[in-house]
């Protein structure tokens, strides 16, 4: 559930104006304070997103309508780790089963237990000639979602880091009320199904086809786990499909084009979530600007591979156990900032693209062109040629404020590899670093380019040794067609 809030903020193109005054409204939690022995940081940014079963602010009629009665367990209902690649071209979402078998710190002893222990220590001090009882273990078996009820966000983060070896940079938490508000403020989310979905436990009742879900219906959809034998695992797949549809809606043309509506959306979302103390508005603006070109195919979804889906643990119940080898490879891929999915194959019969291979797929490089010469139409023709060879040209070609002696590519140093790839297509262009410019390459054409031609380039060839993670799919593959 927490992924919806992150998606709305990062891919909506939110700016400083939309976040003015909102920073103080974000609920804050201590997710990292005092933690030691944490994994080393890696390329990219890692978010731990959790959805809790908090329902305190839901009206009685809504509780009845959406089957939200009963006392909450104050535990995590949904757990996802989201990795945003260093170049901000990809988001990898990994669902972590809430019933994952873990070892948590032993609970503090009760007063009775402490009294018993005290008596045991006194008895042990006397030479009785009998062996003393072994000290209690420092850990106890449990399910992952119990980490939150025992130790809150901090123990949840610590447990996930120990399981994955992935350094968590930020923590984001959403409860039932927050989730419903977020879905409602973006106008609902469409989901599709090829068979009727009915769950008496949540009240979900969807017909075949596509239905636009409001906040309450969406909560029923992502919570339902009595629709098929897959139970929780099936529910995780539906949550991924839902998140893919959120990305599709947010990135579709005109969905959030109204600045006033965008400000309302952002205010509602950020006022409804809890985040770590280090995640501020500047971080979110930076992420949003970097991910403006995001699309469903830019996201990828996977679940932790399992070796046992019904491991019964005395005193704990049915748990799931990870496949050590496959899960280890999955998290190693995340730490290495590599994609989980395989490159798309070239359709059969398609001609092999001609051009010089570059290190970054030109489709992921956004370019804006302006004319710094007296040659009319040069910016337009150059931008068309760049688009034809695969670059993601953006905006309308313009005329520079003043003429320039040479063709220049201004780029943010964080995207230096993309800038070098663009320079291959524009021979002779000078690379000029422009810190904080963002991911868009800005080309100003000089007289040296007036008679030149754009050199065709192609995406890098797939790594023949790269293996896609089992079951990983891109957002356009898991969403509605």
Q: Which of 458, 249, 251, 241 is nearest to 350 (CA)?
A: 458
Residue 434: half-sphere exposure toward Cβ, Cα within 13 Å:
15
Whether residues 474 and 453 fall in one domain: no
Whether residues 434 and 473 fall in one domain: no
Residues 117-128 as b/e (b if ≥16 CB within 10 A, e otherwise) read eeeeeeeeeeee
> Domain range spanning residue 368?
356-458
Whether residues 168 and 252 fall in one domain: yes
124 assigned to some structural domain? no
147 assigned to some structural domain? yes
| C-alpha–C-alpha distance, residues 220 and 226, integer Å | 11
Q: Please report, in tens digits, the pLDDT of each residue of the chain (481 residues total).
A: 555 566 665 655 555 555 555 555 678 889 998 898 899 888 888 999 888 866 566 667 776 666 666 655 566 778 889 898 888 788 888 989 989 999 999 876 444 434 444 444 444 444 444 444 444 458 899 999 899 989 999 999 999 999 999 999 999 888 777 778 888 888 888 888 888 888 887 888 888 888 999 888 888 888 787 676 556 677 787 877 887 787 777 766 555 556 666 666 767 777 777 888 887 766 665 666 555 566 667 788 888 999 998 899 999 999 999 999 999 999 999 999 999 887 655 444 444 446 788 888 888 888 999 999 988 888 888 888 898 888 888 778 899 888 888 899 999 988 888 899 999 999 889 999 999 888 889 999 998 876 567 888 887 655 444 455 666 776 666 666 5
Backbone angles phi, psi at 123, to 5 degrees: -65, -35
Whether residues 298 and 437 fall in one domain: no
Question: Whole-model pTM above 0.95?
Answer: no
**Total count of domains within the chain:** 2
Whether residues 305 and 185 fall in one domain: yes
402 assigned to some structural domain? yes
For the chain, give percent helix, strand, coil, nearest 5.
35, 20, 45
| CATH number of the domain where residue 34 is located | 3.40.630.190
Check if the beta carbon of residue 58 is closer than 8 Å to that of residue 309.
no
Whether residues 44 and 72 fall in one domain: yes
Whether residues 299 and 386 fall in one domain: no
Long-range Cβ contact pairs of 285-288 (< 8 A, separation 24 or more): 285/14, 285/15, 285/16, 285/19, 287/9, 287/10, 287/45, 287/84, 287/88, 288/9, 288/10, 288/11, 288/12, 288/13, 288/14, 288/15
Q: Ramachandran region of residue 178, left (φ > 0), alpha (ψ -120 to 50) or beta? A: alpha
| C-alpha–C-alpha distance, residues 11 and 248, integer Å | 10
Torsion, Cα of 62, 64, 66, 69 (10° steps): 110
Check if the beta carbon of residue 458 is closer than 8 Å to that of residue 356.
yes
């Amino acid at each position: 559930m927490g992924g919806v809030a992150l998606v709305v903020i990062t891919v909506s193109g939110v700016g400083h104006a939309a976040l003015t005054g909102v920073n103080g409204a974000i609920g804050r939690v201590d997710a990292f304070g005092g933690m030691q022995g944490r994994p080393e940081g890696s390329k990219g940014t890692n978010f731990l997103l959790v959805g809790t079963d908090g329902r305190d602010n839901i009206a009685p009629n809504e509780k009845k309508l959406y089957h939200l009665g009963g006392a909450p367990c104050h535990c995590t209902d949904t757990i996802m780790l989201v990795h945003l690649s260093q170049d901000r071209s990809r988001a990898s979402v990994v669902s972590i089963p809430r019933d994952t078998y873990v070892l948590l710190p032993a609970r503090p002893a009760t007063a009775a237990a402490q009294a018993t222990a005290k008596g045991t220590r006194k008895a042990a001090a006397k030479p009785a000639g009998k062996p003393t009882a072994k000290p209690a273990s420092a850990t106890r078996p449990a399910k992952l979602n119990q980490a939150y009820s025992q130790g809150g966000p901090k123990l949840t983060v610590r447990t996930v880091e120990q399981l994955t070896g992935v350094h968590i940079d930020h923590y984001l938490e959403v409860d039932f009320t927050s989730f419903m508000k977020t879905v409602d403020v973006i106008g609902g989310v469409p989901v599709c199904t090829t068979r009727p979905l009915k769950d008496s436990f949540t009240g979900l009742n969807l017909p075949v086809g596509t239905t636009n879900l409001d906040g309450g219906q969406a909560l029923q959809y992502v919570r339902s786990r009595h629709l098929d034998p897959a139970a929780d695992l099936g529910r995780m797949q539906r949550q991924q499909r839902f998140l893919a549809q959120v990305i599709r809606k947010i990135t579709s043309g005109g969905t959030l084009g109204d600045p006033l509506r965008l400000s309302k959306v952002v205010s509602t979302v950020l006022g409804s979530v809890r985040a770590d103390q280090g995640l501020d508005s500047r971080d979110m603006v930076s992420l949003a600007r970097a991910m403006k070109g995001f699309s469903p195919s830019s996201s990828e979804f996977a679940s932790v591979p399992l070796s046992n889906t019904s491991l019964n643990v005395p005193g704990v119940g049915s748990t799931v156990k990870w496949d050590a080898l496959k899960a280890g490879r999955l998290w190693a891929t995340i730490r290495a900032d590599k994609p989980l999915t395989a490159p798309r194959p070239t359709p059969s019969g398609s001609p092999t693209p001609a051009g010089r291979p570059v290190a970054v797929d030109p489709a992921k490089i956004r370019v804006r062109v302006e004319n710094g010469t007296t040659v009319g139409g040069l910016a337009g023709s150059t931008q068309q040629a760049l688009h034809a060879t695969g670059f993601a040209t953006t905006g309308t070609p313009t005329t520079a404020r003043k003429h320039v002696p040479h063709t220049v590519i201004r780029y943010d140093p964080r995207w230096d590899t993309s800038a070098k790839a663009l320079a291959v297509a524009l021979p002779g262009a000078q690379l000029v670093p422009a810190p904080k410019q963002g991911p868009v390459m800005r080309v100003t054409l000089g007289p040296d380019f007036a008679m030149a031609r754009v050199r065709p380039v192609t995406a890098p060839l797939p790594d023949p040794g790269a293996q896609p993670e089992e079951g990983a799919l891109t957002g356009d593959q898991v969403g509605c067609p």
